[in-house]
Chain A
Amino acid sequence: MMQRLAQSRLLWLTVIFLAAAVLLPLGGVSAYILGLLTAAYYFGVFAMSWDLLFGFAGEVNFGPTFLIGVGAYTGGILDNLYGPPIWLCLVAGAFAAVVAGLVLALPALRVRGPYFGLTTLVAVLMLQNFVVVFAGLTGGEIGLTVPDVISIDAGVNYYVALGFMVVSGVILFGLSRSPLGLILQASGQDPVQAGALGFNVAKHKLAAFCVSAFFSGLAGALLVFYLGTASVGTVVDVGVAVQVIIAVVLGGRRTILGAVLGAVFLIGMGEILRPIGELATFIVSAIALVVVLLFPNGFLGMLLRTKETS
């Protein structure tokens, strides 16, 4: 009963937020803000895919940017070399990310906890080194400029990002509430018991990894074709990975949808605090730390909790 109540609250909240997001460009919001939100939506997809892996499969992936970066760079390099239609680059990016996810997950899932985290972290560092070493192909530290972009109109870009985020959100959220999501959650919490009940834990986790990789890679490639460039600082750097993790914890782990809130908050706060310069990151981190310490369920947890008790 409580579960259903919370779910309907969640539904209403989602509908309200979505309606606001859809109507926003019609309200005469500046192209600059739309651009920020566009990036925030792609970022939200990164965060949602990470949450599927962490919140449900219980695996702390320190390297979401490995999957994002592989998708982004594959799409970008392909476009740069052969210039096929953009959708082909996007598909290639997503596919490459899934392959990279498999390559990473097969050895990494043999180990648990901090070891898994470190393996994924190392993958990011390797990718970063790869990009710098093969600068001729990847543009190195300066970044790779792609000849094609999705659109130059801020409104179109905004709706593409919003649409993509909604579709990914529906799929990831549906997946997390499906039997598959329950099995994942069980394997995350007690792999031995889940195995004893006859579920193939490794196979389910691998599947979760692939789904996470698919959406991360696709979002990464889309981001490249939105920005027109791919650089280590935007899609590979460990700092970006850290932001994805913070976004999920802030928004509320194990909620999928909360991750979007966290992502929009992080990017929004970064922008609002920009005038105060260097201290902005300090303040954002401090807020995040307070949320982690005092409200471990994150924004979405807070919203649903207060609504339930009132």
Chain B
Amino acid sequence: MLAIQILVDGFAISALYALGATGFTLIFGVSGVLNLSHGALMVTAAVAAWAASGELGLGSYAGAVVGILVCLITTFATYFFIVSPIERSRALPSEEKEIFVLTGTLLWGIMITEAIAYFFTSNAKTVLPVVNGVVDLFGVRTPSNEIFTSIVCWAVIGLLWLLVNRTRAGKAVLAASMNPRGVTLLGFDLSRIYITIWGIYGVLAGIAGVLLGMFLGVSSYSVGPLTASAFSIVVLGGLGSVSGSLIAAYVVGYLETVTAYLVSPAYRTIPALLLLVAVMYVRPQGLLGRRAR
């Protein structure tokens, strides 16, 4: 009974982690950027959806759309105002750009968090779920919303797979992640590819954020843990490897769920951190990662 409950709950949480981390790893794989405002972007989506659906009374579907749109806009702002100027800067030697992108996105994330806390208070907000009710799943009473979350996450990940592997634009993105110079030589505009990938990232983070808001609720306090969990999932799976992050998301999600149910919710994150340290020691490039560049 408990085992099934862990399986069901863990599946939904892991699916959410997977979706959140996919965009993060995609950005790193293609443009080498570690975006530390990731958690802030997800929370932005959730808070915008909450405000639109609840406060403005647009209903949950329109609210979700608003949330994703706002997240997309904020993501583009991150790229155009923070990441792109740093990458183009001539004042910085190239080996130091990484730390400046990290610092810049970190500061940007803090600004977003503080702005949200100021305008919408730091209370926890739960977005109106699209589906309501409870379903009996293998003898476990499960909220329909939890099943909805898992389905949407996997549908979006599936769509992303199709987009990357089956469309021309997607193939260009894939190629850019393997060899940026080669893609440029073939006549593709690298900056257009980057804009595409940041757009995809914005939508992914937006969907993940809205779903998280419906499933667990968010507040400005969730920003740090969200970024940290995406970061550790992505490193565990191997930076830049999407399938690696999916596996890692499930490993982390189930480890946390099992610990929370069987030991204590207070120790929830500890086993995943220990595992992360162990993996870093034995296999620094992560489960399915390439060697660090």
Further 18 A-B residue pairs, CB within 8 A, beyond A58-B95, A126-B274: A111-B284, A113-B292, A114-B239, A115-B235, A118-B235, A118-B276, A119-B280, A122-B232, A129-B269, A238-B228, A249-B100, A278-B114, A279-B114, A281-B114, A282-B118, A289-B82, A296-B92, A296-B100
Q: Which listed residue, B92, B103, B224, B266, touches A245 by the CB 8 Å rule?
A: B103
Chain B contacts of A278 at CB under 8 A?
Answer: 114, 117-118
Q: Which listed residue, B107, B110, B235, touches A292 by the CB 8 Å rule?
A: B107
A136 at the interface (CB under 8 A from B): no
The residue in chain A whose Cβ has the minimal distance to the Cβ of B93 is: A189
Whether B103 pairs with A292 at a CB distance below 8 angstroms is: yes
B99 at the interface (CB under 8 A from A): yes
Of residues 176 through 212 on chain A, the ones whose CB sits less than 8 Å from some CB of chain B are 189
| Tally of contact residues, B, Cβ under 8 A | 44
Decide yes or no: A249 and B111 within 8 Å by CB, A118-B280, A133-B267 being known contacts.
no
The residue in chain B whose Cβ has the minimal distance to the Cβ of A293 is: B85
Whether A125 pairs with B107 at a CB distance below 8 angstroms is: no
Decide yes or no: A122 and B103 within 8 Å by CB, A110-B281, A114-B239, A281-B110 being known contacts.
no
A38 to B203, CA, bound (A): 47
Of residues 105 through 120 on chain B, the ones whose CB sits less than 8 Å from some CB of chain A are 106-108, 110-111, 114-115, 117-118
14 CB contacts below 8 A, A to B, read A60-B99, A111-B292, A114-B34, A115-B235, A115-B292, A118-B232, A119-B280, A126-B274, A246-B103, A282-B110, A282-B111, A285-B114, A286-B111, A296-B100
The residue in chain B whose Cβ has the minimal distance to the Cβ of A237 is: B224
B104 at the interface (CB under 8 A from A): yes
Decide yes or no: A122 and B276 within 8 Å by CB, A133-B266, A242-B106 being known contacts.
yes
Tell me, rounded to whole Å, the shortest Cβ–Cβ distance linking A298 to chain B. 11
Whether A289 pairs with B108 at a CB distance below 8 angstroms is: yes
A126 to B277, CA, bound (A): 10
Of residues 11 through 37 on chain A, the ones whose CB sits less than 8 Å from some CB of chain B are none
Decide yes or no: A107 and B280 within 8 Å by CB, A114-B292, A281-B114, A282-B118 being known contacts.
yes
Whether B235 pairs with A114 at a CB distance below 8 angstroms is: yes
Whether A122 pairs with B277 at a CB distance below 8 angstroms is: yes
The residue in chain B whose Cβ has the minimal distance to the Cβ of A301 is: B91
B273 at the interface (CB under 8 A from A): yes
Chain A contacts of B232 at CB under 8 A?
Answer: 118, 122
Tell me, rounded to whole Å, the shortest Cβ–Cβ distance linking B284 to chain A. 4
User: Main SS of the interface on chain B?
Assistant: helix
B89 at the interface (CB under 8 A from A): yes
Chain B contacts of A293 at CB under 8 A?
Answer: 82, 85-86, 89, 104
A228 at the interface (CB under 8 A from B): no
The residue in chain A whose Cβ has the minimal distance to the Cβ of B235 is: A118
A114 to B108, CA, bound (A): 19
Tell me, rounded to whole Å, the shortest Cβ–Cβ distance linking A132 to chain B. 7
Chain B contacts of A111 at CB under 8 A?
Answer: 280, 284, 292
Chain B contacts of A125 at CB under 8 A?
Answer: 228, 269, 273
Q: Give me the interface of A with B, judged by CB distance under 8 Å.
A: 54, 58, 60, 107-108, 110-115, 117-119, 121-122, 125-126, 129, 132-133, 189, 238-239, 242, 245-246, 249, 253, 278-279, 281-282, 285-286, 288-289, 292-293, 296-297
Whether B284 pairs with A110 at a CB distance below 8 angstroms is: yes
B102 at the interface (CB under 8 A from A): yes
Chain A contacts of B274 at CB under 8 A?
Answer: 126
A166 to B249, CA, bound (A): 47
B270 at the interface (CB under 8 A from A): yes
Chain B contacts of A296 at CB under 8 A?
Answer: 89, 91-92, 100
A90 to B244, CA, bound (A): 45
Chain A contacts of B115 at CB under 8 A?
Answer: 282
Chain B contacts of A245 at CB under 8 A?
Answer: 103, 106
Chain B contacts of A246 at CB under 8 A?
Answer: 103, 107
Tell me, rounded to whole Å, the shortest Cβ–Cβ distance linking A124 to chain B. 10
The residue in chain B whose Cβ has the minimal distance to the Cβ of A286 is: B111
B250 at the interface (CB under 8 A from A): no
Whether A238 pairs with B224 at a CB distance below 8 angstroms is: yes
Chain B contacts of A58 at CB under 8 A?
Answer: 95
Whether B280 pairs with A115 at a CB distance below 8 angstroms is: yes
Q: Which 8 residue pairs are nearest across A and B when measured between Cβ atoms?
A: A282-B114, A111-B284, A289-B107, A285-B110, A107-B281, A285-B107, A285-B111, A281-B114
Whether A249 pairs with B82 at a CB distance below 8 angstroms is: no
Chain A contacts of B99 at CB under 8 A?
Answer: 54, 60, 249
A281 to B292, CA, bound (A): 34
B198 at the interface (CB under 8 A from A): no
B231 at the interface (CB under 8 A from A): yes
Chain B contacts of A117 at CB under 8 A?
Answer: 102
A108 to B276, CA, bound (A): 12
Chain A contacts of B266 at CB under 8 A?
Answer: 132-133
The residue in chain B whose Cβ has the minimal distance to the Cβ of A126 is: B273
Chain A contacts of B235 at CB under 8 A?
Answer: 114-115, 118
Chain A contacts of B117 at CB under 8 A?
Answer: 278
A118 to B118, CA, bound (A): 30
